[in-house]
Amino acid sequence: MASIAMLVFGGNAHAEGGSYNVDDASVVGAGKCQLESWLREWSHGSNGLYAVPACGAGPVEFGVTLNTGHGVYGPGVNPSIKWQLRNGDDKGIGVAVATAATWIHGRQDDAQAYVATTFGIDDARRLMVALNAGVDRIHGESTHSLLGLGMDVALTTRWTLLVERMWTHRTITDQGGIRLAFGESSLDLVVGSERSPHPSHWINLGWNAAF
């Protein structure tokens, strides 16, 4: 899970997960939960703390992004629902549909709906690709297209390299980083940038856990 709706929080909201914007086609799983969290520091000096708890019921995942947004936007709340249509976690192509909406200071600011697909390039699935396609509607504006491409490369059994690009209205967001997995948890170190009328740069330190 990697919330596309995070785009409205200044990096700007899940194959990436954590603070990555491009979503994969996986869900938490029936009766299971997870927590993705990260601290973001922007180049202009402000910072934000994010937490994304999510739980599964059959092929459906229910989640919510909570954001302090120190100095940028927030605080914000971003509920989301993802329904896995085809399980591609171990082989083949995974497909899911998802929707999310963002409230900032009690007002709906943004909403998205998209299709997420995930597939492996090689038989060992060491190189995974995630594609997102959908629509994004910002409060007071018309609806625009939303496109995302993410890739992750398993360097070892514990270390993974992740890169992504997200296209939305007047904005291109790039992120890349390294992930260290241990047990049911992982740590992320991510750097990102946004090309828009108000460009920005940031670094994320994240922790993800399943339970």
pLDDT tens digits, one per residue of 32-82: 999 999 999 998 888 899 999 999 999 999 999 998 865 555 578 899 999
pLDDT of residue 3: 46
Does residue 170 register a pLDDT over 90?
Answer: no
Query: What is the structure's pLDDT at 10?
Result: 38
Residue 63 CA to residue 36 CA, distance in Å, equals: 10
Integer Cα distance of 103 and 111 in angstroms: 9
CATH of 4-210, one of 2.30.110.10, 3.30.750.80, 2.40.160.40, 2.120.10.70: 2.40.160.40
Task: Identify the pLDDT of residue 110.
Answer: 85
Residue-level pLDDT at 15: 55
- Give the tens place of pLDDT for each residue, 104-121: 777 777 899 999 999 999
pLDDT digits (tens, 9 = 90+) for 127-168: 999 999 999 998 777 899 999 999 999 999 999 999 999 999
Structure confidence at residue 132 (pLDDT): 98
Handedness of CA 123, 126, 127, 128 (dihedral sign): positive
Residues in contact with 130: Cβ distance below 8 Å, sequence separation at least 6, in sequence order: 15, 16, 22, 23, 24, 25, 116, 117, 118, 148, 149, 150, 151, 164
Q: For residues 167 and 172, what is the distance between their CA atoms, to the nearest angstrom?
A: 5
* Res 107: pLDDT: 76
- Sorted by where each begins, the domain ranges of the chain are 4-210
